[in-house]
Homo-oligomer: A and B are copies of this chain.
């Protein structure tokens, strides 16, 4: 190597994309505490605390609740590959990137996938799901995305668990983007397996995937005829590491666990209801501001933490995002799939969901539109957003 790279010096961004979100300095500080052994009695206590707090945030009593030692998509693979085996039938609801991804993951393992599709940006009605079970009575599980990060659509969960269980199937839910930013009720909704990620509304760096499995899912796993196709993600072994046996399976990402623990602690200190109300208020303020600027939302039923909006006619996507990054150090997300070049995804997740960021992203977008000669109703956005906050602070 001719010369060594320069000292690390990442820019100070404002992360308003689809994740990672801004990480509190308190979490970064926790993460940089001295590394200890993965079987150290002190570390085992930290693991227990993480499990207990995760259950609280996920609103579940599930014993089998822990964090997969990899990022969110490994959580998806963990759920799929443990609940199902080669030849099993799985219904997958697809209305964006992540449902499609679940289908791909399952098919690679020889699982028979039945796709139920809705337009990108739409959510699923109970009738569609009922119909899918009628057409595929052998389905052992149904997979659905609670918060579709590619479209911003917020899937209602009521009744799906009941339908699945009536048909002898398990309910597998993607909560990557929703967990910690809006209410998720694992037990009440009858969810049997759910996965999330640390870098969205938990506002922790990426690197772990919280998961939970119901008693029903545990029974399914115990009755498998074949081993889980993934050794790394096999919960029957990982459980013995996180559980009372403390058997060595793999070396957990110690410092990431410090970070997740701190993030969960901050969530519980804030309180779930207060946190959800904060996400909701900032979303409504952003929405009021954007709509006042003439910018439309893609989904009919939008998530509070992920705002997928149509790029105004005549505006160049890449140039506008470059303007935000260069002039404001601000990141927003581009569109995926059919929305590539046509939509922006503005995240207000966890630490990033603040009045300051709402006002700033509206101002920055005004600037970006003006830079392209489209100064849509100057001043309208900020006033509309401001109105939502009323006379508060």
Tell me whether A19 and B251 are in contact (CB under 8 A).
Answer: yes
Q: Quick one: which of B30, B207, B226, B250 contacts A72, CB cutoff 8 A?
A: B250
Tell me whether A232 and B31 are in contact (CB under 8 A).
Answer: no
Q: Name A353-381 residues within 8 Å CB distance of B.
A: none
- Segment at the interface with B among A5-13, A129-137, A166-174, A280-288: A5-13
User: Is A211 positioned at the interface, with any CB of B under 8 Å from its CB?
Assistant: no
Q: Given A23-B35, A30-B8, A71-B69, is A199 in contact with B13 using a C-beta cutoff of 8 Å? A: no
User: Is A32 positioned at the interface, with any CB of B under 8 Å from its CB?
Assistant: yes
User: Is A96 positioned at the interface, with any CB of B under 8 Å from its CB?
Assistant: no
The docked-state distance in angstroms from the alpha carbon of A74 to that of B22 is 27
Minimum CB distance partner of A68 in chain B: B70
User: Is A386 positioned at the interface, with any CB of B under 8 Å from its CB?
Assistant: no
CB contacts (< 8 Å) of A105 on chain B: these are 231
User: Is A142 positioned at the interface, with any CB of B under 8 Å from its CB?
Assistant: no
CB contacts (< 8 Å) of A56 on chain B: these are 1
Could you mark each residue 71-86 of chain A with 1 if its beta carbon is under 8 Å from any beta carbon of chain B, else 0? 1111001000000000
Tell me whether A255 and B205 are in contact (CB under 8 A).
Answer: yes
Tell me whether A262 and B8 are in contact (CB under 8 A).
Answer: yes
Tell me whether B1 and A15 are in contact (CB under 8 A).
Answer: no
Could you mark each residue 87-107 of chain A with 1 if its beta carbon is under 8 Å from any beta carbon of chain B, else 0? 000000000000001001101
CB contacts (< 8 Å) of A251 on chain B: these are 19-20, 71-73, 197, 199, 206
Q: Quick one: which of B15, B258, B325 contacts A10, CB cutoff 8 A?
A: B258
- Segment at the interface with B among A36-44, A293-301, A308-316: A36-44
Please give the distance in Å from A183's CB to the nearest CB on chain B: 17
CB contacts (< 8 Å) of A19 on chain B: these are 251
CB contacts (< 8 Å) of A231 on chain B: these are 73, 77, 101, 104-105, 108
Please give the distance in Å from A33's CB to the nearest CB on chain B: 5
Tell me whether B253 and A256 are in contact (CB under 8 A).
Answer: yes
Q: Given A72-B251, A251-B19, is A37 in contact with B10 using a C-beta cutoff of 8 Å? A: no
The docked-state distance in angstroms from the alpha carbon of A207 to that of B251 is 8
The docked-state distance in angstroms from the alpha carbon of A307 to that of B179 is 44
Tell me whether A4 and B227 are in contact (CB under 8 A).
Answer: no
Q: Given A1-B52, A253-B71, is A37 in contact with B232 using a C-beta cutoff of 8 Å? A: no
Q: Name A33-70 residues within 8 Å CB distance of B.
A: 33-38, 40-43, 46, 49, 52-53, 56, 69-70
Q: Is the interface of A mostly helix, strand, loop or mixed?
A: loop
Q: Quick one: which of B15, B32, B70, B72 contacts A74, CB cutoff 8 A?
A: B70
CB contacts (< 8 Å) of A331 on chain B: these are 36-37, 40
Tell me whether A32 and B32 are in contact (CB under 8 A).
Answer: yes
Please give the distance in Å from A96's CB to the nearest CB on chain B: 13
User: Is A109 positioned at the interface, with any CB of B under 8 Å from its CB?
Assistant: yes
The docked-state distance in angstroms from the alpha carbon of A35 to that of B70 is 17
User: Is A217 positioned at the interface, with any CB of B under 8 Å from its CB?
Assistant: no
The docked-state distance in angstroms from the alpha carbon of A113 to that of B65 is 33
Q: Quick one: which of B4, B199, B229, B254 contacts A108, CB cutoff 8 A?
A: B229
The docked-state distance in angstroms from the alpha carbon of A228 to that of B107 is 11
CB contacts (< 8 Å) of A255 on chain B: these are 28, 31, 205, 207, 259
Q: A13-B40, A31-B31 are in contact. List 9 more A-B contacts (CB 8 A).
A: A4-B269, A8-B33, A8-B46, A13-B34, A13-B36, A20-B37, A70-B74, A73-B249, A229-B229
Instruction: Give the 4 A-B residue pairs with the shortest CB-CB distance, closest first.
Output: A207-B253, A70-B70, A32-B32, A28-B32
What would 11 A/B residue contacts be, using CB atoms closer than 8 Å? A8-B261, A10-B33, A29-B32, A70-B71, A71-B252, A73-B251, A108-B229, A108-B230, A109-B229, A205-B256, A207-B256
